[in-house]
Structure 1
Amino acid sequence: MHKLNLLVVFWSLCQFANSMSTDDQEIGAVKWATKFEIQIGNKFYHFETNKANWFQAANHCRELGGYLLNFESSEEMDAILPILPQGQIQFWTSAHCLSGNRKFISVTSGEPMPYMRWFPNEPNNLNNNEFCVELRINGGALNNIHCTNKWTG
């Protein structure tokens, strides 16, 4: 059995907060960002190993003030892969095609996913019910999968 892990992303609001130039806003942005212990570029990342389906994971990320992972480039994906917790196999991403049209959009932005590195022969929509996307560390690529899967250890 596999464990599907949460990878929560928080976009840095520091530039926006700094442009507002009030001490409270800057302190708030710093406190907010400390929940997300890893920074790459202007994004902060937080990893969890809770069992959750895609909907639960997306909701939990929002409760933390972040979003499920939304890759914007090959470089971002390559930067994330080596820092993921060892032994963890899969992480949910923000990508989904819940409208049924097989066009993957981001729950984070509502826009088409900016970058998708699929495994060979993916997305395959196995059994016509794979509407969400996971990042698989082994192989460093994306796979479409059933949104209500909960992985167990």
Structure 2
Amino acid sequence: MISGKNYYISSSKCNWFEASNRCRQMGGFLLNLESKEELKFLTPYLHPALSYWISTNDLGVRHFYVSEATGIEAPFLDWSVGQPDNIEGNERCVELWPSTSSFQMNDLSCQRLVGFICQVN
């Protein structure tokens, strides 16, 4: 439990869809990151060499990022420099990745295999 919320942080690598399903099986959803403060609370628990799926994506409408957990516009975006870049037109899901000094957001192909963070009820 961090800042009044329960989280499950997994270094087990899977694609975004599988990560979402695993979170649902635990009674939760991929992390709906709400603020810089929440990211700061989580950072000490994240492995500095890994990336993690969160619920943010633009699968419905390109360049309009929503939370898979809520279905509404993502409440917080903290992109790494140059992101989102949608390389090869195929980067529709969002990961937290270790940027130069902290974890920030990056768009990535939903089929890539990275860790994930669940917010569990």
> Into which bin does the TM-score normalised by the smaller protein fall?
0.7 to 0.9
Q: Does 1:52 align with 2:14?
A: yes
Q: Partner amino acid for 2:110?
A: C
Contact 1:100 1:131 in 2 (8 A): no
Contact 2:11 2:50 in 1 (8 A): no
Q: Which residue of 1 aligns with 2:37?
A: 75
- Equivalent in 108, 113, 116 of residue 150 of structure 1: 113
Note the residue ranges of structure 1 that are not aligned, 5 or more in a row.
1-38
Change in 2 beyond 3 A, CA 1:105/1:57: same
Note the residue ranges of structure 2 that are not aligned, 5 or more in a row.
115-121
In 2, the alpha carbon distance for the partners of 1:79 and 1:42 equals: 11
For residue 23 of structure 2, give the secondary structure of its aligned residue in structure 1: helix
Query: Identity over aligned residues, as a percent?
Result: 35
In 2, the alpha carbon distance for the partners of 1:100 and 1:113 equals: 13
Structure 1 position 142, deviation (Å): 0.5
Which of the two has greater helix per residue? 1
- TM-score when normalising by structure 2: 0.86
Number of aligned residue pairs: give it.
Answer: 113
Which of the two has greater strand per residue? 2
- TM-score when normalising by structure 1: 0.69
Larger RCO, structures 1/2 (Cα 8 Å, 6+ apart): 2
Deviant stretches of 4+, over 4 Å = none
Q: After the TM superposition, which residues 1-153 of structure 1 pair with which residues of structure 2 at under 5 Å, given as runs?
A: 39-84=1-46, 86=47, 88-138=49-99, 139-151=102-114
Bigger-Rg structure (1/2): 1
What is the RMSD of the two structures over their aligned residues, measured on CA atoms?
1.6
For residue 12 of structure 2, give the secondary structure of its aligned residue in structure 1: coil
Structure 1 position 88, deviation (Å): 4.3
